Structure 1
Amino acid sequence: MDLSRKVLLPAGLCSAVLFHLGTGLAPLPALAWLAPLPVLLVAPRTSARTAAALAFGSCLLGLTNSWPFSAHSHDLPLWPWGVAVTVGMAATFALATTLFRALLTTGRTLLAVTAPPAAWTAVLYGVASVNPTGIMGTLATTQADVPLVVQLAALTGAWGVEYLVLLVPVAVAAALTERDVRIVGFVGLALAAVVIHGGVRLTRDDGPAHRVALVASNHHGWATDLDTPAGPELVAAYARRIEALPDGVRVAVLPEAAFGAHEPRPAALFDPLADLARAQDIDIVVGFAQWTDGRKYNYALTFPASGGEPVRYLKQHDRVSPAGHDLTVLGATGVLVCADVNHRDPASAYAKAGARLLAIPASDEDDNGWQHSRTALLRGAENGVAVVWSGRQTRLMASDARGRVVAEAATGGADAFTTVVADVPIGDGPTPYARLGDWFAWLCVAAAVAGAIRARPGARSASRPPAGPPPRRR
């Protein structure tokens, strides 16, 4: 039995364990960089079919780390969506591994290093572009608590982070297989550029700070009905919490669909919060679900400190509700709702419109709270805006315009409410990514296509024989 066959199972199991620990709802960031490496090391030494199967199986097994959550999730039920996401990611890794093997074994070393991570990123970009629910929980999300890496998103969007995390193990596997120091030099320069860029951004002036508050009830579910006694009681309880906030708070954000009603202007909510916002000189952002003509409208209402009627923002990305199209900008604050952060817009549109802080009522399902809050953090880093994420049944988080967590707390404790107050630097304006858009993702599409063309059997390099497993000795 040749060497490759002896190590196939251990390599696959090793990658599976690393994928399991390095991705998912509570990832270990360093392990995400290592997870592809064992499979990539053996891929050039076995057949294309075996390499693809090994990559698919190891990634699929590792990504089952999200299945216990999906088994009881309403947003991502295990069947069919949880399984579909896992299978799709595993198939994408198999594609990248097959491309790596084909290019490396035919002498196209530079393409073997650059095209596979481009293919991975291009597929995810395509999925994000056509999927109405957007995308979250990818390799980029695993690095959300590593500010030095996250700064790359200001240039390339999260797609650059996605690419980088797979580029490194691909390059290591290629360098060890080919024993080519040029690969090490190429990737070393790329990593040095990322570190220098990140370091410079992190040392720059963060801009003025806004004091913000996040307030979430720990014991009330989705859209407490304002037509029942529980509705006005909860409004009063929130009002008392906001009145007790320290001086200087400029924005208070409550969760998505904290309240619900059939009428468009329930006095039990509108009148007390309008008076409170004016009295406390604070903008209050609250999620409000309205049922009209058999349809649900998912709003974020902003009660301005100047008083008067709230400004309505209708969630732009919602599977079951009508979608909004307009932005809500009050001073430096833009308003989104939860799953809006799974897409490039409206976050980029807000940055270009002058917003420097995104107030986001949200609602998740406990276990995925970290992951979704970090998707929001990445949007902030991409566009140069601070993020205030107020989640019901999840967590509260405030991050600055560089993607650094300033303050956070898990909700659902024994107290009636969870409250976070933080001074959040709001940044100095839109980033290159906010202005240029998904240029890097399109570059990945081009690189993936070029790699696929060069990897065709008819495009073999004359300097290398056709790929295949080593001959067996008799």
Structure 2
Amino acid sequence: MKNKSDKIIFIILMLISSICYFFSTGFNNISFLLWIAPIPIFIYSFFNSYKRTFILAFSSFILGGLSYYKYFNDFPSIIFSILEYSLFFSVIIILCKFLFQKIRKWYVIFFPPSCYSLYEYCSSLVSKNGTINSLSYTQIDFQLLIQLASITGIYGITFILYFLPYAVSIFIYYLILKNKKNCILVFIFPILIMICTILFGYSRIKILDSHSHENIIIGMASADHLNSFSIINNEESSKKVIEHYISLIPMLSKNGAKIILFPEKITTINYKILSNISKLLSDAAIKYNVTIILGIRRIDSNNIFYNSAWIFSENGNLISTYDKHFLLPYYEVNTIYNIPEITPGKTFVTFNFKDSIFGIAICKDMDFQKITHAYSKLNAKVMFVPALDFIKDGWFHGRIAIFRGIEGGFSVVRAPSQGILMASDEAGRIIKKVATSSSENTYFIAKVPVGTSNTIFSQYKYLFHFFTGSIIFLYLILFLYTHFKVSPLKN
């Protein structure tokens, strides 16, 4: 850098951007800061070299990515994910700088958000963690904005998150250059798009509220103090855990709960004791006239382990078993600490309750949009999700499931141990949430509306990706046209 003032400006901008990223992403959730975070980088890119711009972008993303620090011990590979995301985001910044230098038109404002949202989608297809790193989840409290997920999935929210900051950056750039015409154009289009987005969100919520929804009373409970028994593979241990959870049912059923949901992997059940344990649950379902859903670690006669959910109807029948599809690295697949590997499930499971169809998924399954599309096609109105969190990530992980509900048009009922018992409707509004306790039983009762299971995104899952891909393609054509344009021959 040429002089001391350049270095000071660089450091100030890096601190502003990285601090905004740090406190708005990962385990921090001051969501409005994410709208500010990229602006210093974009503005800096207009007036400085590619090298300096890349260093500023990369260092800001890296420092901001430290917001995931609580996962570093449990999932060391997340450090490499942060490096990967920082690299790709920095490359996109460089591409934006290059395109703006070549075209220098106000309508390049659509390029960065298209790149970012398309990158998030492509990354989710190959990542073992699905959509977990999407920036859209930070906006959980912005109810009018997140309704966009019902049309575009979470990627439309990411689009807006980069569209507005880049438009503001170019507006400031034209303001510095005193280019009033482009200032007006850059100002008008983002405002119109934001107004349309907000109006859509408002109208969707109003329309959903105007419909008459059937409500079901859901009961959940968690006994985190029994988690140490969950991996013990013997009948005595399994019976102790199951009997304890059955003892929690009367408290829930007397308050009107018709469906009882317990957490993921509350005990280990092998094929030898399966009939004895299932009879306990069957008898409880009949006695209290409730449907019981619970998560277990299941071992079949071939010594194959599954992470399963059992569903017992109110007449005591084990009506279905669901096996978790997407497994947790280090703890269920590619395991460490001598933990047995889990075999993933292959089928989606629904069950009927009164006149509605309900679906089942387990914890990490909800990080993947495959769940959205599968259960929307099956016309599921409510998703029941046994889960197991790490205490520190109860809200971070729980909010992801809420977005699947917006995308698919269903309510979500999520019961983790070491997390937050939570229910949300298809608009992503939290009906109730209760943090579990490590020392005592935690109870949860709520009326949950049945969803519509009908969204544009669930029916046309590639629509928005086609839109962003087309924008990028059109910019490529525009660049080639501008770059290779030949002046007319003179007579």
TM over 0.5: yes
- Alignment partner for residue 299 of structure 1, among 308, 323, 346? 308
Distance 2:287 2:108 in 1: 63
Equivalent position of 1:65 in the other structure: 67
The equivalences for 1:295-334 within 5 A come to 295-318=304-327, 320=333, 321-331=342-352, 332-334=357-359
Distance 1:172 1:4 in 2: 23
The equivalences for 1:217-366 within 5 A come to 217-221=223-227, 223-225=230-232, 227-245=234-252, 246-263=254-271, 266-292=274-300, 293-318=302-327, 320=333, 321-331=342-352, 332-366=357-391
Say whether 1:215 aligns with 2:221: yes
Identity %: 23
Which amino acid counterpart does residue 463 of structure 2 have in structure 1?
A: W
Which amino acid counterpart does residue 405 of structure 1 have in structure 2?
A: I
- Number of residue pairs matched by the alignment: 456
- Alignment partner for residue 465 of structure 2, among 428, 435, 441? 441
Say whether 1:155 aligns with 2:147: no
What are the superposed Cα offsets for residues 402-454 of structure 1, whole Å, 9 maximum, x if unpaired? 11111112223432x11111111222231111111132133223333444565
Equivalent position of 1:368 in the other structure: 393
Distance 1:25 1:462 in 2: 53
Distance 1:377 1:161 in 2: 14
What are the superposed Cα offsets for residues 296-330 of structure 1, whole Å, 9 maximum, x if unpaired? 21111111123212410111212523222222211
Q: From the superposition, tell whether residues 252 and 452 of structure 1 become closer, same or farther in structure 2 (CA, over 3 Å).
A: farther
**Structure 2 unaligned residues grouped into runs of 5+:** 176-182, 334-341
Return the offset for 1:281: 2.4
Distance 1:398 1:120 in 2: 30
Return the offset for 1:154: 0.4
What are the superposed Cα offsets for residues 362-395 of structure 1, whole Å, 9 maximum, x if unpaired? 1121112211111100000111100011111122
The equivalences for 1:2-151 within 5 A come to 6-67=8-69, 69-73=70-74, 77-78=75-76, 81-151=77-147
- Secondary structure of the corresponding residue to residue 370 of structure 2: coil
- Alignment partner for residue 189 of structure 2, among 160, 168, 186? 186
What are the superposed Cα offsets for residues 33-92 of structure 1, whole Å, 9 maximum, x if unpaired? 11111111111110112112211110111111212x12321xxx22xx111111122112
Return the offset for 1:265: 5.8
Distance 1:130 1:249 in 2: 40
Return the offset for 1:191: 0.6
- Secondary structure of the corresponding residue to residue 239 of structure 1: helix
Equivalent position of 1:394 in the other structure: 419
Q: From the superposition, tell whether residues 357 and 93 of structure 1 become closer, same or farther in structure 2 (CA, over 3 Å).
A: same
Q: From the superposition, tell whether residues 263 and 111 of structure 1 become closer, same or farther in structure 2 (CA, over 3 Å).
A: farther
Equivalent position of 2:198 in the other structure: 195
Please tell me whether the aligned partners of residues 251 and 284 of structure 1 are also in contact (alpha carbons under 8 angstroms).
yes
Higher relative contact order (CA 8 A, sep 6+): 1
Relative to structure 2, which stretch is displaced further, 263-272 or 205-214? 263-272
Q: Please, what TM-score do these two structures have when normalized by structure 1?
A: 0.90
Please tell me whether the aligned partners of residues 402 and 427 of structure 1 are also in contact (alpha carbons under 8 angstroms).
no
Relative to structure 2, which stretch is displaced further, 155-164 or 294-303? 294-303
Please tell me whether the aligned partners of residues 122 and 441 of structure 1 are also in contact (alpha carbons under 8 angstroms).
yes
Please tell me whether the aligned partners of residues 19 and 35 of structure 1 are also in contact (alpha carbons under 8 angstroms).
yes
Q: Please, what TM-score do these two structures have when normalized by structure 2?
A: 0.87
Q: From the superposition, tell whether residues 355 and 428 of structure 1 become closer, same or farther in structure 2 (CA, over 3 Å).
A: same
- Secondary structure of the corresponding residue to residue 225 of structure 2: coil
Name the Cα RMSD after superposition. Answer: 2.3
> What stretches of structure 1 move > 4 A for 4+ residues in a row?
1-6, 452-458, 460-463
Say whether 1:412 aligns with 2:413: no
Distance 1:445 1:4 in 2: 37
Which amino acid counterpart does residue 73 of structure 2 have in structure 1?
A: H
Distance 2:377 2:145 in 1: 23
Q: From the superposition, tell whether residues 107 and 347 of structure 1 become closer, same or farther in structure 2 (CA, over 3 Å).
A: closer
